[in-house]
Amino acid sequence: MPEEPRSDRRRRVVLLGSTGSIGTQTLDVVAANPDRFQMVGLAAGRNAALLQEQAERFGVTRTALGAADAEALAGDVEADVVVNGITGAAGLGPTLAALGTGASLALANKESLIIGGRLVKDAAAPGQIVPVDSEHSAIAQSLASGTHSEVRRLVLTASGGAFRGRSREELRDVTPAEALQHPTWDMGLVITTNTATLVNKGLEVIEANLLFDVPFSAIDVVVHPQSIIHSMVEFVDGATIAQASPPDMRLPISLGLDWPHRVPEVGVPLDWTTAQTWTFEPLDEAAFPAVALAKRVGEAAGTWPAVFNAANEQAVTAFHAGRIGFLDIVAVIESVLDGYAPDGGVLDRAAVLAADRLGRQRADAVIAAHR
């Protein structure tokens, strides 16, 4: 990381998705560091009461409720950094609006980059997007150890989710409540379910390709149940650089807020006086085929990732409503992709949103037929 000193000026922060898991933890970091950060805008999905409470607590006068108003807020409020903690495809408009202001974008809403692809990449200045996902933050930190041409591969770690070690047959009758029992992370319903199916890791592989310009053939996934090593970079000389810390999103959030500077005392370090064992296991692609499927979708690029993500969001909703089983989530995605034929036009916002709508419509049809 650069050695230039940090400016003493407080960084002005706009937070989108303030009432969710990422949002509330971002507010924890800001509250603990009033000399470094100033909250100037807050947006939430639908929890108006909590949004108002947060605004009063941080002295914020600019707030928004809903994705459309969040997009307007992101593009209108003067800020040094916009944190996009919105869940799902609804974050695309706010991401593009934030990039248009020139502010740094601390991106927790991976879906907007994944479905937007080159549209989002082309809208961003070099270094303008700072990843907040713990895996991609770890890679960004590890990449400081070498140049891009010296990278051999990226290794994303996966906790394995709620069903690590189970066979495909053992997954057939798992329940929505079981899928939400993540062993190490506290996240929302969609992301927690996505970690159980490994769809989340598939999305992260696509995100890594877009963020770091590393081909899919050089991006691997390894299961690491303890969630201590957050990801690794292997270099051409055989060295592997890893970032390790207890599972706590406040660390990558703080880096997103103040990249490339580190915020003191934001996290608790590992206790090296206590015996520990960290394990790594190969991914069982027969039980969890979502990563391989996501790689194929990422290679296809264009509007394919938008369809993939849309179908998954609909399938997750249907699973938690009891309309389909756990294994049906990825099966629905595959069925939608098998019938998808993109028109090959220009990849603009309208095309991405149209693909998103189509993916949802086709997923709903597949789900209805399943019943």
Q: Stretch 1-5: mean pLDDT, rounded?
A: 60
Check residue 79 and report its DSSP letter.
-
The CATH number of 302-371 is 1.10.1740.10
Kindly give the pairing relationship between strand 11-16 and strand 151-158: unpaired
**DSSP codes of every residue in 216-259:** GGGEEEEE-TT--EEEEEEETTS-EEEEE--S-THHHHHHHHHT
Q: Domain 11-131, what architecture? A: 3-Layer(aba) Sandwich (3.40)
Backbone φ and ψ of 229, nearest 5°: -85, 115
Taking only the tens place, the pLDDT of each residue in 136-145 is 999 999 999 9
Q: Stretch 309-326: mean pLDDT, rounded?
A: 96
Specify the amino acid at residue 175. T
pTM (2 d.p.): 0.93
Q: Stretch 115-120: mean pLDDT, rounded?
A: 95
H or E element at residue 92: helix 92-101
pLDDT at 356: 95
Domain spans, the chain: 11-131, 133-248+271-299, 302-371
pLDDT at 262: 96
First to last CA, the chain: 53
pLDDT at 89: 86
**Three-state SS across 171-202?**
HCCCCHHHHCCCCCCCCCHHHHHHHHHCHHHH
Which of 51-55, 77-81, 163-167, 312-316 is least confident?
A: 163-167
**DSSP codes of every residue in 281-348:** EE--TTT-THHHHHHHHHHH-TTHHHHHHHHHHHHHHHHHTTSS-HHHHHHHHHHHHHT---------
Taking only the tens place, the pLDDT of each residue in 171-200 is 999 999 999 987 776 667 888 899 999 999
CB atoms within 10 A of CB 116: 27
